[in-house]
Chain A
Amino acid sequence: MRAPTGSHIAAGEVLLAVENVSLSFGGVHAIRDVSFDIRKGEIRAIIGPNGAGKTSMLNVINGFYTPQAGQITFKGQTRSKMRPFEAARGGIARTFQNVALFRGMTALDNIMAGRTLRMHRGLFWQIFRYGPAMTEEVEHRLRAEEIIDFLHIQHIRKIQVGRLPYGLQKRVELGRALAMEPDLLLLDEPMAGMNLEEKEDMSRFVLDVNQHFGTTIALIEHDMGVVMDLSDRVVVLDYGQKIADGSPDEVKSNKTVIDAYLGVAH
């Protein structure tokens, strides 16, 4: 698999910066004045108790929600709102907390759908299929197969994903996101509901994606062991506010974070 291209940002520099973003739904303030950045090549964890605004943050980053205030700088381009397809075009891929696969399609087709943006033959060629459309199809099938090999899902490629067990669905979803060859990969609880072994597998995949392909990863996860082991830096949200930001060790010993998770004695 090719390393993601199209980015002029060197490793270690800021790939995505969120500045003073606020988001509210009516009277509910999901995110209040949060700023943080994601550097190229790192694994950035976003943690926090339930309802802290983590998923909302990801939704702001890839354009599902429009924040009321603040701006997002991605690859040097600053904007107050992203549109989902613009985010995709810019190289942001994502997986969902509750698997959002195309259930009626096979695992292979799901991964191939992830390559839609990189395929260009229009209706005219698709009508004939043989010729240029087929050449393109095969070329992208090769890429899809590389991802299938990488995730060890060869045996299920022709199975409808709706019929797959949960753990494999999560893996196919990761594959679909990888098929986009993203610069930034947003993972929303990739290990939710998994047993220890599946978590270890998934952690391995996350690390491999990061190291082999150099993909920057933003990760939401509740399993603190996983978060502390995988991530380079952690940002902690609570009630929509940022309460801590730093290396896993700094965050672990942060008083506010401990209070947020364990509660404060009154």
Chain B
Amino acid sequence: MFYREAGQFKTDYASDQAVFPILQDRIGIVVIVLAAYSLVLAQNDFLLNAMMIPFLIFTLAAIGLNLLTGYTGLLSLGTGAFMGVGAYSCYKLTTIFPGVNIIIWIIVSGFFAAFIGVIFGLPSLRIKGFYLAVATLAAQFFLEWCFIRIPWLYNYNVSAAIEVPQRELFGVIVTGPRATAETRYLIVLTIVVVMTWMASNIVHGRIGRMWMAVRDMDIAAELMGIRLLPTKLLAFAVSSFYCGVAGAMLVFLWYGGAESTVFSINQSFFVLFMIIIGGLGSLLGSYLGAALIFMLPIVLRFVPPKFGIPVHAATVEHITFMTVGALIVFFLIVEPHGLARLWQIAKQKLRVWPFPY
């Protein structure tokens, strides 16, 4: 009833092919984006720094993996390493060319990640499923090894870590310890919003259909004239680009410095869980998954103190782990296709409410 497209007539195919053909959706998106931007006004460093910035960065990584795994059906465990490629190449670029705008380097580092992604995507023509996951595992271990063993990558720092130098954008400090949470949040948010919009454009067009065709039935896709290897490599490239940008932002706009362990296999699993719980083959799912896996523990940590229950910090930590684990199992049992599907079902229910169908 609240969510009905009745009366919204489409008179041309362009409006029917739109990403959000229903007016309510379009209004909703505008409201959400405006709300996200207005969070800056809250002056709450904790909210921005500990929650929103990492949430958005992980969302971007999740979108990247979702393009590969959810849309093209290629399982990858190399996300962490591809994020690392982005971070390390951004670090090298900005230390070699300090004069260039850091935002440009963050984006350009995505191309480095895309290139590496394509190289490790080459086996995908012959191997599928779990076997491909193992092949991408090779990327994960090899690149992690590079991050440790090639000192040139971290400019021969004694700590073997990359430390983000201070960079300015139009006179405002953007990276480094003196950058404010508000500035970094605005940059992260803008990049993530724009890149989500681009991802949504890609998956709704010809290339998205090619990817999904390869995912659903590669034999029939080949018969449509879709060449499997270029299509899969394109998916690897775009996906790694997203992961690379996410990795660069992770270090430059959140951590402020990182060593190789940040991009370990755990990070890969972390992002993979996000898209499985959020919903494979759904951009919205990437957001929901990142929110559930990343934000829920933080929120839960603040529930007991709010009710005045005095709990030891370590106990809270354990309880959080248990609750999150239980919730993940619960959501997977209720809806194996992820939170995005739950939202779709809810939308359908809203459309027909108060009638059952």
| A residues in contact (CB < 8 Å) with B | 62, 64, 84-85, 87-89, 93-94, 96, 100-105, 109, 112-114, 116-117, 119, 121, 123, 126-129, 133-134, 136-138, 141-142, 145, 176, 180
User: Interface readout for B205-247 with A: 1 if CB under 8 Å, 0 if not?
Assistant: 1111110110111011111111100000010001000000000
11 new A-B pairs (CB below 8 Å) besides A127-B202, A129-B201, A137-B14?
A: A102-B215, A104-B215, A105-B209, A105-B213, A109-B209, A112-B209, A116-B226, A117-B225, A128-B198, A176-B224, A180-B224
Given A102-B220, A138-B13; A116-B206 close (CB under 8 Å)? yes
Query: What's the Cα separation between A100 and B219 when bound, in Å?
Result: 8
**How many residues of chain B have a CB within 8 Å of chain A?**
33
| Contact of B201 with A127 in the complex, beta carbons under 8 Å | yes
Q: Which residues of A contact B348 (CB under 8 A)?
A: none
Interchain residue pairs with CB less than 8 A apart (24): A62-B223, A84-B223, A85-B225, A85-B227, A88-B222, A88-B225, A93-B223, A101-B216, A102-B212, A102-B215, A102-B217, A102-B221, A104-B281, A116-B209, A116-B224, A117-B224, A117-B225, A123-B207, A123-B234, A127-B202, A128-B201, A134-B17, A136-B206, A138-B13
> Which residues of chain A come closer than 8 Å to B217, judged between CB atoms?
100-103
Note all chain A residues with C-beta closer than 8 A to B238: 123
- State in angstroms the CA–CA spacing of A103 and B202 once bound together: 20
| Ranked 3 nearest A-B pairs via Cβ | A88-B225, A129-B201, A102-B216
Minimum CB–CB distance for A241 against chain B, Å: 27
Shortest C-beta distance, B8 to chain A (Å), equals 15
Does B204 make an interface contact (CB < 8 A)? Answer: yes
Complexed CA–CA distance, A145 and B13 (Å): 10
Q: Which of A84, A103, A138 has the most B CB atoms < 10 Å from its CB?
A: A84
Residues of B within 8 A of A127 (CB): 198, 201-202
B225 lies within 8 A of A180 (CB): yes
- A138-B12, A141-B13 given as contacts; is B224 within 8 A of A64 (CB)? no
Contacts of A87 in B (CB 8 A): 223
Is the Cβ of B12 less than 8 Å from the Cβ of A113?
A: no
Contact B224 A101 (CB under 8 A): no
The answer to whether A126 touches B219 (Cβ under 8 A) is no
A14 to B234, CA, bound (A): 39
Across the interface, which residues of A come within 8 angstroms of B207, CB to CB? 123, 126
